[in-house]
Amino acid sequence: MAHTNGLSDTVGDATAQIAHLRAQVEALMKDRVMPAMSDLTGRAEAAVSDAGQVVRDKAGVVSDQVRAQPLIAVVLAAGVGWVVGRLMR
């Protein structure tokens, strides 16, 4: 009987320790992890937005050059196509 009582005390202590650890982990998540994730999310969104703007700007420059010099653009595209075709054989 004493053995069973000691076992239930041990289980109760372990359950209390687990509950305490769970509370500590939740507090750390709330205080440290969530703000850091929020900050990283904001930075990632800003980086993607900036990169998208750079790509749009470069595409505009290329588009303007193609309009200004269409013959060179066609020759360049044909040359790149030929090289890629040769590499794919």
DSSP 22-44: HHHHHHHIIIIIHHHHHHHHHHH
- pTM (2 d.p.): 0.45
**pLDDT tens across 28-54, in order?**
899 988 998 999 899 999 888 888 899
**pLDDT tens across 66-86, in order?**
999 999 999 999 999 999 999
